[in-house]
Amino acid sequence: MKVMTYCDRLRRQSGELANYACELSREAYMLEEVCAKLSRLEGRGIRQIRQIVQRQADRLRLQRQKVLLMKQALDRIITTYERCEQMVESLGERRRKSGSITFRGREFPNVIRYIDHSGIRFLP
């Protein structure tokens, strides 16, 4: 059994948000079809029902937009997290090779105590 990393969980949640957005879109489309069928009928009560259904379809479309915005934000977080993981791995490799790190041309000997899955630990 594979252990899920934090980034894997974020990716799974991003996929779930995408599925939810598709589901909202389908429901809004079905309500639009109901509105189209109701528009063929006459009567004051029918118009009111059609307006209610149309408002609900509009709400679903707005909800879908919000979900897509959340998915985009989550995808940006995933990208940033992956970059940070790569940087930490890179720092760890440099540390293992030389015992110090170089940043912008300057060498910092023994600045980093150790690097693990939870981040970088600096010397006091």
pLDDT digits (tens, 9 = 90+) for 52-97: 889 999 999 999 999 999 999 999 988 888 888 788 777 766 555 5
User: Which residue's structure tokens are 């300057």?
Assistant: 106
Torsion on CA atoms 22, 28, 29, 35, rounded to nearest 10: 180
123: in domain: no
Instruction: Write down the pLDDT at residue 97.
Output: 54
51: in domain: yes
* Residue 67 domain boundaries: 6-92
Count other Cβ atoms within 10 Å, centred on residue 57. Answer: 19
109: in domain: no
User: Side chain identity at 82, as an amino acid letter?
Assistant: E
- Euclidean distance between CA atoms 123 and 107, whole angstroms: 15
110: in domain: no
15: in domain: yes
68: in domain: yes
More confident residue, 104 or 85: 85
Q: How many domains does the chain have?
A: 1
Instruction: Write down the pLDDT at residue 110.
Output: 56
Model-level pTM greater than 0.75?
Answer: no
Mean residue pLDDT of the chain comes to 78
* Contact present, 28 and 67 (Cβ < 8 Å): no
User: With bands split at pLDDT 50, 70 and 90, how would you rate the model's confidence at 5?
Assistant: confident
Tokens of residue 15, six digits: 């996929």
44: in domain: yes
More confident residue, 97 or 44: 44
* Contact present, 67 and 21 (Cβ < 8 Å): yes
